Amino acid sequence: MRHFYCTLAGAGAMLLAGLSPVQAATEIEFWHAMSGALGERVEELVKKFNDSQKEYVVKAIGKGTYDEVLNGTIAAYRAKRQPEIVQSNERSFLTMVNSGAIVSTTELMAEQGHPIDASKFIAPVVSYYAIDGKLQAMPFNSSTPILFYNRDHFKAAGFDKPGATWQELEPQLDAIKAKGVSKCAMVLPGDYEWSFLENYSAVNDIPYATKRNGMDGLDTSFVFNKGKLVGQVERMKRLVSSGVMQLAGQGIIPIQLFTSGECSTIIASTASHATVVAAAKFDWSAAELPYEQGVTPKNSVIGGAALWTLKGHTPEKYKAVAAFYDFLAKTDTQVWWHQATGYVPVTTAAYETAKAQGYYQKNPTREIAVVQLMRGTPSDNSLGFRIGNSNQINVAIMEEVSGAFLGKKPVQQALDDAVARGNESLRRYEQLNAGKK
């Protein structure tokens, strides 16, 4: 009954104002997974769009973590109450594409008179979110891991900056520990499978899975239990066992061990910039990811998320979605979002604009992620990852590798078991999605 009275009152207000219901702005919902300061930036971004025109209103609604947003979206879709736009992380790409519930961004924008050129986006972003050159989702918050370091600690240990290779960096970390400069020389991030394994394989140009890491088909299989990746995990175990690298305890966020000054380095998403700037009370800087000696490093790969358009809405709603995406793709919007959040600008034009403004001269660490992503031409091993059941597989890999850190099994056995569990999940995904990409 209250809803009825509110509707009636709203209609009366529009008539008094000389407006008809047809002239009312079209409202769409945007479910997202950003909280804290980043959630505030999303609200600010949406307000900018809403204030820029009168035809459409985007309503941003935080729905928890990426997993919670995805689960909520599935339930809403089944109940036919889905939002027009949903934010989903890069790991859910195949889940979204093969769901049959999404509208391709390239097709949506063309139909609504806002053609979008995928070649304007930086290569690692396009390779993640496009199929046959067509964007399936709207790139939004893209990031990549970089090395944050405490410059005071490095100076105290006798170093100007971290070495570029692992062969240079590892002795520096050992020295920081041995000289008692800090309690731990490096803290392991909670998403180390992304930063220490996937990005390690991309930067060092070695395969993580067959079929170009899944880009060429669902019949891909993991192969990260061979070669340099075994050496990488053995290095990580050695650093953990010696106390040089610390595992964050339950309830403690790894980046806090860096910003508190307890740990001297962390490899973390460039989106951690806001946290580091706000909390670190010491001289800090950042550097590109370390790589193996003798290797010409390739580009790193992205993390973060994109915006997906869901089926089942009216043409007017899709006009609103396209207008919002067109606003997001504008260079000015991209530059603002990059500078306000720490996420990378997803278009080349936005990067060039920020550079021309002198932004990176004043904020040099903000350019590191962009340069690292745009480094050289992506190879088959650095295009990105297209893995079915990726979220579940990631949990299994972390369980096995963490077991090696804790001495439950040898590194090689842990990686063999991780590959076996991952491949079992890949085969289930392939069977359920036979005939799909």
Average pLDDT, the chain: 92
Taking CB atoms within 8 Å and a gap of at least 24, the contacts of 314-317 are 316/26, 317/26, 317/28, 317/84
pLDDT of residue 313: 98
Residues 6+ apart with CB under 8 A from 13: none
Q: Which pLDDT tens digit goes with each residue over 183-208? A: 999 999 998 999 999 999 999 999 99
Averaged pLDDT, 295-306: 95
Averaged pLDDT, 408-432: 97
What is the model's pTM?
A: 0.89
Averaged pLDDT, 308-317: 98
Q: Which pLDDT tens digit goes with each residue over 30-71? A: 999 999 888 999 999 999 999 999 999 999 999 999 999 999
- Domains observed in the chain: 26-143+302-374 (3.40.190.10), 145-300+388-433 (3.40.190.10)
Averaged pLDDT, 130-141: 94
In whole angstroms, what is the distance from residue 57 CA to residue 55 CA?
7
Residue 65 tokens read as 């973590």
pLDDT of residue 9: 44
